[in-house]
Amino acid sequence: MSQHKNLFVPSFKTDQEEEDVERKTTGNGGGIGGDVWKFKGNKAAKGAANVSMKGTLTRLFDCCSKDVNKTILPLGHGDPSVYRCFQTSVDAEDAVVESLRSGAANSYAPGVGILPARRAVANYLNRDLPHKMKSDDIFITVGCCQGIETMIHALARPKANIVLPTLIYPLYHSHAIHSLVEIRKYNLLPDLDWEIDLQGVEAIADENTIALVIINPHNPCGNVYTYEHLKKVAEMARKLGIMVISDEVYNKTIYGENKFVPMGIFSSIAPVVTLGSISKGWFVPGWRIGWIAMNDPDNVFKTTGVVESIKEHLDISPDPSTILQFALPNILEKTKKDFFDKSNLILSQNVDLAFDALKDIPCLTCPKKPESCTYLVTKLDISLLEDITDDFDFCMKLAREQNLVLLPGEVLGLKNWVRFSIGVERSMLEDAFVRLKGFYARHVKTQLT
């Protein structure tokens, strides 16, 4: 397991967790509590904390055991950067080394980000946009995560609601809850290439809707929205008078037929905020650098005070390291197309492998072959299985019998679906499907009625 040391694997507990266990067993620490000290932890983030995915993975890893005599295959969560085949580009590494060595990146940066970084992101995004952005339209953030946090904080107001897809990166939920913004959910349609249920959005948006959030390319469904579909999204947003926040963090991870179309193309129809980062495309989520981009040719964000509010929020938040900001222009400009082609080829081969292998496991079907991102979501048909009650049960038994960890869709709001991470070494996927086949054979109903 040493190659997985950076993964979230529950056997790597924090010091605190180990101390807690010790205290419980030895009985020390009694009496030091609420009676003496006048302070206590703020509970506001409690409901917002993203505990369900981690909690579920912890339980699944706990089911794995040495007795199974197989390595643990952690396909429940995704961080491809731990695998050799997804090492980042040398050009990006050189950019960071150069930035560090230059001595020019040791100072504080302005809250909005340093000018060369803002300009580089504008140039990078403008390649595909009709309405060119200026460096002033870009804010540099601590990964895409801070972009999410900043936008929700900047827009929150009493009675506000935000329209999110049912399948969403959990941080949107967390920050909406933390900012007391009501969450309204629209469906994605698995049988229509996971398109957005536009009528559903219209039905739930109202005068208190602060934004419609879309994820494109979509994590975890792996689809890429077409030009026509996105245009409809923009037209609907205009009709409803709401902005579109487009999370395009996976815009470099494209390996299918649909070409990636940035939502910013439609910014003359409705204003668009694009969120992005280098975390996924360059396989460096630990570098923590991303951006918020305002695609707003009509200056709606200025006149409505949104730009001001974003700046104020960034002024009171920690900034991404100046070293990374200073390196960003070279990372964006010097990384060669070959690098992306290579990692996308590996991912598409992994998808092909998984898609083929699923044919031998009839209880799992995938409605649409992923053409982006690093996951495969499959629908679980429990009627074919003897003694499995739902996706959670399926994943628990799989972990227990095969040391294979997959994520039950329930955690993502998809009851009786199962999510695979395909951003792993090919040999791990091959092994996973051999184990799944064995598992299926063991649990399939012998007499189908």
Ligand X SMILES: *Cc1c(COP(=O)(O)O)cnc(C)c1O
Q: How far is the CB of 63 from ligand X (least distance, A)?
A: 26
Q: How far is the CB of 96 from ligand X (least distance, A)?
A: 16
**Rounded to an integer, what distance in angstroms lies between the CA atom of residue 40 and that of residue 100?**
40
Which of residues 77 and 435 has its CB atom nearest to ligand X in the complex?
A: 77
Q: How far is the CB of 248 from ligand X (least distance, A)?
A: 9
Q: Which parts of this chain interact with ligand X (CB under 6 A)?
A: 143-145, 169, 215, 219, 247, 249, 277, 279-280, 285, 290
The residue assigned the tokens 């598409």 is 348
DSSP 302-334: HHTTHHHHHHHHHHTSPPPPHHHHHHHHHHHHH
Q: How far is the CB of 215 from ligand X (least distance, A)?
A: 5
Which of residues 74 and 147 has its CB atom nearest to ligand X in the complex?
A: 147
Determine the residue type at 205.
A
In this structure, how many other beta carbons lie within 10 angstroms of the beta carbon of residue 159? Answer: 10
**Rounded to an integer, what distance in angstroms lies between the CA atom of residue 348 and that of residue 365?**
18
Which of residues 141 and 403 has its CB atom nearest to ligand X in the complex?
A: 141
Q: How far is the CB of 220 from ligand X (least distance, A)?
A: 8
Is the distance from CB of 83 to CB of 424 less than 8 angstroms? yes
Which of residues 245 and 399 has its CB atom nearest to ligand X in the complex?
A: 245
Which of residues 64 and 164 has its CB atom nearest to ligand X in the complex?
A: 164
Determine the residue type at 3.
Q
Tokens of 399: 């972990």
Q: How far is the CB of 287 from ligand X (least distance, A)?
A: 9
Residues in CB range of 178: below 8 A, 6 or more apart: 44, 45, 48
**Rounded to an integer, what distance in angstroms lies between the CA atom of residue 174 and that of residue 171?**
5
**Rounded to an integer, what distance in angstroms lies between the CA atom of residue 150 and that of residue 118?**
17
Q: How far is the CB of 269 from ligand X (least distance, A)?
A: 23
Cα angle 357-363-367, degrees, rounded to a multiple of 5: 70
- Tell me which long-range contacts 188-195 makes (C-beta under 8 A, separation of at least 24): 188/218, 188/221, 190/221, 190/367, 190/368, 190/379, 191/367, 193/223, 193/368, 194/218, 194/221, 194/223, 194/367, 194/368, 195/223, 195/225, 195/229
Which of residues 253 and 402 has its CB atom nearest to ligand X in the complex?
A: 253
Q: How far is the CB of 13 from ligand X (least distance, A)?
A: 23
Helices vs strands, H then E, count in the chain: 14, 15
Which of residues 245 and 436 has its CB atom nearest to ligand X in the complex?
A: 245
Partners of 291 in beta bridges = 140, 276
**Rounded to an integer, what distance in angstroms lies between the CA atom of residue 285 and that of residue 91?**
16
CA 332 to chain centre: 21
For 233-260, the three-class secondary structure string (H helix, E strand, C coil) is HHHHHHHHCCEEEEECCCCCCECCCCCC
Which of residues 256 and 281 has its CB atom nearest to ligand X in the complex?
A: 281
In this structure, how many other beta carbons lie within 10 angstroms of the beta carbon of residue 191? Answer: 8
For ligand X, the nearest residue by Cβ is 143
Q: How far is the CB of 204 from ligand X (least distance, A)?
A: 21
Which of residues 377 and 385 has its CB atom nearest to ligand X in the complex?
A: 377
Which of residues 247 and 296 has its CB atom nearest to ligand X in the complex?
A: 247
Which of residues 274 and 402 has its CB atom nearest to ligand X in the complex?
A: 274
Please report which residue ranges of 88-135 form alpha helices under DSSP H. 90-102, 115-126
Q: How far is the CB of 281 from ligand X (least distance, A)?
A: 10
DSSP state of 11: T
